[in-house]
Homo-oligomer: A and B are copies of this chain.
Amino acid sequence: MQYQKLINRIHEIQDLRKATRVLTWDREVNMARGGNADRTHQITTLQRLSHTLYTSDEMGALIEAAASELNGVSYQSSEASLVRFLRRDYARARRLPAEFVSKVSDVNNDATLAWKQAREDDEFSLFRPWLEQIVELEQEKAELFGYKHEPYDALLEIHEPGTSTAEVRTLFDKTKAELRPLYEAVLARKDWVDDRFLRQPYDIDKQKFFARYLAEEVGYDFNRGHLATAVHPFSTSLSRNDVRITTRYSPDYLCPSMFATLHEAGHAIYVQNVHPRLTRTPLAKETSAALDESQSRLFENFVGRSKGFWRAHLPRLQALFPSQLGNVSAEQFFKAVNKVQQNFIRVEADELTYNLHIILRFEIEQSLLNGTLRASDLPLAWNEKMNELLGLLPPTDREGCLQDIHWTLVGFGYFPTYALGNLYAAQFFRAIKEQIPQIVTELEEGNTDSLTIWLRENVHQYGRMFTPAEIIQQATGAPISQEAFVRYSTAKFSEVYGL
């Protein structure tokens, strides 16, 4: 009875939040620019209404009344999980005063415009004053939320509940150190892999057809989704039963459309497979940002950049592009899509160097937050670290510290989840191969059923019922470690580069 009251209110709030997502999705995909100002009002109004409902005293009372009623109900149940989640989330939401939230939203809007201009003009000084404000807001946010050991813990907690900065630091330091020799060996054979056949004219309508084919093949459900085009691909859940993906098409490079599609399909399959019982609750969502990224990476790289996958699907692609790919073997294709690029840009980085781009940002965010790095010194610090980690010196700030939008969103603590996602993906994938030995053969036959079922049963169905640590422990029998990722990378890139 009390629980029912709670769930009715939660449904209402969740409907409002999802409606906001529809408005955002539509803005990115369909809306003409003239609609911007009015749409911002609509989004702000919906956000304010859902925030007001969610942070009301009444909501606190509803949660506590339901908690008393459920006393003794199994920890594993969706009811207990929801109340557990809400208690934590509600308390956190109440810690941010309305003025702070609105300040963040204002700075975010203005900083985004400034960042775009700074990037266009390659003029960091245009963005510097906003970065200073952003750092101050991040510091304030950390204090408002509170933390055990260091301020960065508070920001990490937003995206990766239960994970400490110290823990991430250790994982990243090990990853960095253990992959160093591999990275250097690969660099010594820079031109070993030929990927020129990927860089030719490819008809966009045929790419669209193949993107849809790929998404369907890996288990994305088009009856509960939609594939559109966007400059910066993303996926978004407008409900558990309407999870959309976007991709982009390059007329003369085959990779972006294929791998953005697989990546976004990975995100989407996660939410599509959350247990139906969690529909219209905040639990119908990925456990955490890193677990979410683990699924996109798993489909993009562990599946989509494997040799077996192209044994299964290259023939279909060749039928579409006989003149470009007629003479290419699955082996050559596999190597080409895994070519290590020394790239300044994170989103264009290969699987091996991607984590290094993240580690750079993780370290810089901490220095900015604890005041050891001033905003004005960011370009220098960025370039030094880039050189140290990747042996690269960005020729412009546009290709350096101005490349990402994340900081303008007042989003410190998010970057590390990308690299954590890779580590999670590797650990899941190893567990799957151990638990289902025939999976390798199945994937080579283009059959992803066992994979999807395993992921649904061990990860997807739970949504946010448990913490990331609980999920990984339960699914793989061990806490998160860099080990599976290092082994996987070593094996893969040794094969690609004949090491």
Spell out A's residues near B (CB within 8 Å): 11-12, 15-16, 18-20, 22-23, 25-26, 30-39, 41-42, 44-46, 49, 221-226, 228, 238-242, 244, 279-280
Copies in the complex: 2
Between A and B, 20 residue pairs with Cβ closer than 8 Å are: A11-B41, A12-B49, A15-B41, A15-B44, A16-B46, A18-B38, A18-B42, A19-B22, A19-B46, A30-B30, A31-B242, A34-B221, A35-B239, A38-B240, A38-B241, A38-B242, A38-B280, A39-B242, A41-B280, A49-B49
* A225: contacting residue among B19, B32, B38, CB under 8 A: B32
The docked-state distance in angstroms from the alpha carbon of A240 to that of B18 is 23
Q: What residues on B are CB-neighbors of A239 within 8 Å?
A: 35, 38-39, 42
Task: Looking at the assembled complex, report how far the CB atom of A10 sits from the nearest CB atom of chain B, in whole angstroms.
Answer: 11
* A22: contacting residue among B22, B36, B45, B241, CB under 8 A: B22
Residues B26 and A42 in contact, CB atoms below 8 Å apart: no
Q: What residues on B are CB-neighbors of A36 within 8 Å?
A: 241
- Contacts A22-B42, A34-B224, A34-B242 aside, 20 further interface pairs with beta carbons under 8 A come to A12-B49, A18-B38, A19-B22, A19-B42, A22-B23, A26-B26, A26-B238, A30-B30, A30-B226, A30-B228, A31-B226, A31-B238, A32-B242, A34-B221, A35-B224, A35-B239, A35-B241, A36-B241, A38-B240, A39-B239
Q: What residues on B are CB-neighbors of A241 within 8 Å?
A: 34-38
Q: What residues on B are CB-neighbors of A42 within 8 Å?
A: 15, 18-19, 22, 239
Given A11-B41, A22-B22, A42-B19, check contact A238 B280 (CB 8 Å).
no
Task: Looking at the assembled complex, report how far the CB atom of A269 sits from the nearest CB atom of chain B, in whole angstroms.
Answer: 14
The chain B residue sitting closest to A223, CB to CB, is B34
Q: What residues on B are CB-neighbors of A39 within 8 Å?
A: 238-239, 242
The docked-state distance in angstroms from the alpha carbon of A358 to that of B46 is 40
The docked-state distance in angstroms from the alpha carbon of A367 to that of B312 is 66
Residues B279 and A32 in contact, CB atoms below 8 Å apart: no
Q: What residues on B are CB-neighbors of A33 within 8 Å?
A: 223
The docked-state distance in angstroms from the alpha carbon of A38 to that of B17 is 12
Q: What residues on B are CB-neighbors of A49 within 8 Å?
A: 12, 16, 49
Task: Looking at the assembled complex, report how far the CB atom of A211 sits from the nearest CB atom of chain B, in whole angstroms.
Answer: 16
Tell which of A20, A22, A228 has the most Cβ of chain B within 10 Å.
A22
The chain B residue sitting closest to A225, CB to CB, is B32
The docked-state distance in angstroms from the alpha carbon of A242 to that of B37 is 10
The docked-state distance in angstroms from the alpha carbon of A280 to that of B18 is 22
The chain B residue sitting closest to A34, CB to CB, is B224
Task: Looking at the assembled complex, report how far the CB atom of A405 sits from the nearest CB atom of chain B, in whole angstroms.
Answer: 24
Q: What residues on B are CB-neighbors of A223 within 8 Å?
A: 32-34
